[in-house]
Amino acid sequence: MSAAEAEARLKEIADHPDHVLLVAESGGRAAGWIQVSQTRVFESARQAEIAGLVVREGLRGRGIGRRLVEEAERWARQNGCEALRVRTNVVRERAQQFYRREGFSEVKTQRVLEKRLG
């Protein structure tokens, strides 16, 4: 995404208290980020979902992702969430291993269907 797209997307979530974008820094530069949002589903207790987690290549394996997930958990608890969820593509085995190490467990398998609107 371009810088202009990033700025526009940040503005979209900046004023929503049910979303947070946390950034980790290393050497004065962004080392990684995590976006978390509360999901509001009628049939489920309040929960939060990790919408994205990225750690800069070359800095992976140094605990940055773990720290970001810890902060996401803290934010979710402070916002009354009973669970923190994440979805990961079935082919992203390293991501699944990471989340399992962080205490996540698989609760269901599903298919994601999409209808383009534009």
Q: What is the CATH number of the domain that holds 84?
A: 3.40.630.30
**Within a domain: residue 117?**
no
Question: What confidence score (pLDDT) does residue 16 get?
Answer: 87
Range of the domain at 49: 3-101
**Within a domain: residue 112?**
no
112 — pLDDT class (breaks 50, 70, 90)? confident
**Within a domain: residue 40?**
yes
6 — pLDDT class (breaks 50, 70, 90)? confident
Under 8 Å between Cβ of 66 and 60: no
Total count of domains within the chain: 1
**Within a domain: residue 116?**
no
Task: Show the tokens assigned to 91.
Answer: 């082919």
**Within a domain: residue 90?**
yes
